[in-house]
Amino acid sequence: MSVHALRPSRRAFLSSLALGAAAFTVPGAFADQLERTPPMTEGPFYPDKLPLDTDNDLIMVNDHITPAVGEITHLTGRILGPSGDPIKNALIEIWQCDANQVYLHTGDSESKKDQQDGNFQGFGRFLTGSNGAYYFRTIKPVPYPGRPAPHIHVKVKKGARELLTTQIMIAGHPGNDIDGVARGGTRNVIDRELLMIDFEPIKGSKLGELAAHFEIVLGRTPSDLAPARNRAAAR
């Protein structure tokens, strides 16, 4: 079974809106530039104790034979620079609550031990190659008390630097309109929509698996700044 990449129509459409609006006031300012993925709050539940298994398959933990509960989702995408160049050796991390609304964090799981899905990894990492692509097998996120908008937390690092922390949410979910973080954590409607993705059924999947695609566009990275520093040092 092949996991197809969804058309990046949402990002392309929103980028065209932003470019069109900017063209009236700042000619050429956005030429050959992609809309940067908006940052969002990390939230309180980045794992305080990382699991022994931190690979990109959150459905299976180590050598367990029982998969996690939830709608299996193949999350794919690329990490790109502002001009669309793929970012190599970028470490992307994701974390989310399990299908029972419990995070892999003692501040949440200690009081919900009987509720927590022990077969859900809750956190995963992936290091990009030359094409900037990443892949995770996880579950479709679910809402929980205080966060009616289901979401997956994302962090991108390169070396010792954190380049982006954000969240991705389900396009069209009714909780998005009443979620305080979703509505207040971004500057405008276009930024908010850039964080919304579709979770589409994979044709022919007997398990009802889903595919979701999220392109991450960074601002200037340390590697972008290095040539300028080198030129300044040579003067």
| Cα–Cα distance measured from residue 97 to residue 156, given in angstroms and rounded to the nearest whole number | 19
Beta bridge partners of 153: 95, 167
Tell me how far CA of residue 197 lies from CA of 32, 171, 188, 212, in angstroms. Answer: 23, 5, 17, 7
Give the type of residue at 137: R
Single out the residue of 157, 160, 178, 158 nearest to residue 169, CA to CA. Answer: 178
| Cα–Cα distance measured from residue 84 to residue 228, given in angstroms and rounded to the nearest whole number | 20
Give the type of residue at 38: P
| Cα–Cα distance measured from residue 197 to residue 211, given in angstroms and rounded to the nearest whole number | 10
Q: What is the pLDDT of residue 72?
A: 98
Domain-located, residue 144? yes
Give the number of domains in the chain. Answer: 1
Radius of gyration of the chain (CA): 19
Domain-located, residue 2? no
Report residue 35 as tokens: 């809309």
Domain-located, residue 1? no
**Whether 86 contacts 218, CB under 8 Å:** no
**Whether 39 contacts 92, CB under 8 Å:** no
The tens place of each residue's pLDDT in the chain, 235 residues long, gives 445 444 455 555 555 444 444 433 344 444 457 899 999 999 999 999 888 899 999 999 988 889 999 999 999 999 999 999 999 999 999 999 999 999 999 999 999 989 999 999 999 999 999 999 999 999 999 999 999 999 999 999 999 999 999 999 999 999 999 999 998 877 788 899 999 999 999 999 999 999 999 999 998 655 554 444 454 444 4
Q: What is the pLDDT of residue 19?
A: 45
Tell me how far CA of residue 58 lies from CA of 139, 180, 194, 231, 235, in angstroms. Answer: 8, 27, 24, 44, 50
| Cα–Cα distance measured from residue 131 to residue 117, given in angstroms and rounded to the nearest whole number | 34
Report residue 169 as tokens: 């949410």
| Cα–Cα distance measured from residue 54 to residue 121, given in angstroms and rounded to the nearest whole number | 8
Query: Which residue range(s) make up the domain with 109?
Result: 9-234
Domain-located, residue 205? yes
Q: What is the pLDDT of residue 221?
A: 57
Instruction: Identify the CATH number of the domain in which residue 191 sits.
Output: 2.60.130.10
Report residue 165 as tokens: 């922390």
Q: What is the pLDDT of residue 86?
A: 97
Give the type of residue at 173: H
| 129-166 residues labelled b (16+ CB within 10 A) or e (exposed) | eeebebebbbbbbbbbeebbbbbbbbbbbbeeeebbbb
Q: What is the pLDDT of residue 33?
A: 72
